[in-house]
Amino acid sequence: MDTGSLSDARGSAGDEPVAIQTRGLTKRYGEDVLAVDDLDLTVYEGEIFGFLGPNGAGKSTTIDVIMDYVRPSAGSATVLGFDAQRETRAIHERVGILPDGYGLYDRLSGRKHLEYAISLKRATDDVDDLLDRVGLDASAADRVVGGYSKGMTQRLALAIALVGDPELLILDEPSSGLDPNGVRLVREIARDHADRGRTVFFSSHILSQVEAVCDRVAILNRGRLVAVDSIAGLRDALGTGSTVTLTVDSVPDSLTVAAIAGVSDVAVDDRTIRVRVDEATAKVDVIDRVRDDGAAVLDVTIEESSLEDLFSAYTGDAPRQVGAPEGER
């Protein structure tokens, strides 16, 4: 299916300062690997932007171009108004990155790593502050990185990314190797950074991590952008809404919930009634109607459809019918 190039959901805002912009960005490896295909992406300053896609979708390649690790085959990328290929220095002075597939120096202590990064960036950060922000204690920082666990290494790499309080923080799969505390920490760092008026660009293939923290999300699949929107906006666009599950004493013979506006599906199983609703206001109506129909409601659970659902709808082989108009060519 060709979804075409999506126009940006916030494109009309126009004069908002832009943190990252790609235009027709294409990266080809050899003859037949098309890692990124004609990508138009705009990330505004001050937002936490989620960059989602399965492994191999082209997320890291996009970041690689933005950071000038690789050169685009076509198109361009600008970061904070600077050209990614020609004004690399200006960008790297203002950006902090946790790259994909990075490594650190096994023989160097965590503290030395940070001191080195600070001197290379001509920053004035206090090493202990940085350690504190990523939850590494001072004694661990004095040991060599060769003995670090994956989680400690990831925290140190995160601290390196924070050196110089960057205007733009790029995190490529920041949660890999982290325990739940670490995952929460990454979210806190992202939020904290955005609260300082900075921009965070957060790539992940794990949707729940992005869902919890991002203002807007782009979904990438096979090098192409398939959606850009807020999480709520994506939900609306897909119309998957949420599911209300009611446990009742006994299911009434004449169940009339299906007639409520906004209800798309009703399933009854023993004493459980599962109702899919597309409109938020319909949820209360469903509960009221079931009572009116003569059942006593024992329990209610409401599940928002997860981004996982949205995601498979966008990137799966047989995408669900999408309510919002698509950019068919």
Q: Which residues bind other proteins (CB under 8 A)?
A: 29, 60-61, 64, 67-71, 88-89, 92-93, 95-97, 99, 101-105, 107-108, 116-117, 119-122, 124, 157, 160-161, 163
Beta-bridged to residue 42, according to DSSP, are 21
Q: How far is the CB of 81 from other proteins (least distance, A)?
A: 17
Q: What angle do CA 73, 79, 81 make, to 5 degrees?
A: 115
Which segments of the chain does DSSP mark as H helices, in order? 59-66, 88-94, 110-120, 127-134, 138-141, 150-162, 180-195, 207-211, 231-238, 282-292, 307-315
Judged by CB, which is closer to other proteins: 141, or 163?
Answer: 163
Q: What is the DSSP letter of 261?
A: T
For the record, the structure tokens of 26 come out as 């294409």
CB of 173 to other proteins, least distance (A): 13
Q: Least CB distance from residue 30 to other proteins, whole Å?
A: 11
| Residue with smaller CB distance to other proteins, 37 or 68 | 68
Closer by beta carbon to other proteins, 96 or else 252 = 96
Paired tokens of 199: 């921009």
Distance in angstroms (rounded) separating the CA atoms of residues 231 and 234: 5
CB nearer to other proteins: pick between 48 and 160: 160
Comparison of 10 and 112: residue with beta carbon closer to other proteins: 112
CB of 207 to other proteins, least distance (A): 24
When the beta carbons of 62 and 209 are compared against other proteins, the nearer one is 62
User: DSSP string covering 24-50, please?
Assistant: EEEEEETTTEEEEEEEEEEEETT-EEE
The distance of closest approach from Cβ of residue 116 to other proteins in the complex, given in angstroms and rounded to an integer, is: 6
How many CA atoms, within 13 angstroms, populate the side-chain half-sphere of residue 326?
Answer: 16
What span, in angstroms and rounded, lies between the C-alpha atoms of 177 and 182? Answer: 9
Minimum distance, C-beta of residue 106 to other proteins, in the bound complex (Å): 8
